[in-house]
Amino acid sequence: PASSAPPSRPEPPPWDEEPSPPREAAREHPAAAAQKKTELTADDAVATVEAPPAVVEPPPPPRTKALPPTPVPSLNWDGDWPTLAAALPLRGVVQQLAQQSELLQCEATENVVQIKLRIPLDTLRSAGSVEKLEQALGNHFGKTVRVDTEIGAVEQTANAAAMAEREARQREAEQNINSDPFVQSLMREFGATIVPGSIKPA
C-alpha cells in the first residue's frame, strides 16, 4: 500500500514575521573624528591659557623746574645762575660742572648758603669738583656754601646761554651781509653767491 505523505507545516502569516534587528549606526569617518578631536584639543588649550597679569609702571616723579632768576638780597645777587657760573674763575671739570648745571634752589641764612643744582652727567661730580665749586662760590659770596646735585636733563645753563648767544650773533651777521647793498649788487650783476658757513660774526 502506498505510504501517506507527512502533513506539511502551515506557513506563518506575514504579520507574524519577526522584525529584522536594527542596523548599527553608521560609523564616523576617521577623518571627521580626528578633526573633532583636534578642535576639542584646541579649545581646551585656549581655555587653559591665561593672560599674563598687566604690569602697571608707576608714574615718574615730577621733575623739579629750574629756578628762574630770583634776586637774593642777603647775597646781593640777582639770582642769574648762568651768568654767575660763566663768570666764576674756574677751570677743568669744575668749570664744566658750573657751566653745565642749572639752579634748582638757593637758600641763604646768616652764615650758610645752600644751593641745589641739576647736572646732566655724573662724571661732572668727580675729582672733588663739587667741593671746588663750593669754595669758589664761598669766595664770591663771602659765606660758607653747600652744594647738592642731582642728575637730569638741563636747560637753563651757562653753556646753553652761550650757545644761544652765538646762534643769535650768527643770524644777525648773515642778515647784515645779505642786506648789504654792495653784496646785493654783486649777486645781481655777477651771479655771486654766499658760501654757507663762511660768514663769521664780529
Q: Where are the alpha helices (H) located in the chain, listed in sequence order?
A: 30-48, 81-87, 92-99, 129-141, 158-178, 181-190
Instruction: Give the tens place of pLDDT for each residue, 117-150.
Output: 999 999 999 889 999 999 999 999 999 999 999 9
Structure letter (DSSP) for residue 142 = T
- Three-state SS for 106? strand
Q: What is the pLDDT along the chain (202 residues), one digit of tens a residue?
A: 444 555 555 565 555 555 555 554 445 555 555 555 544 454 444 445 565 666 666 655 566 677 678 899 999 999 999 999 999 999 999 999 999 999 999 999 988 999 999 999 999 998 899 999 999 999 999 999 999 999 999 999 999 999 998 888 888 888 888 888 888 888 888 888 888 777 888 7
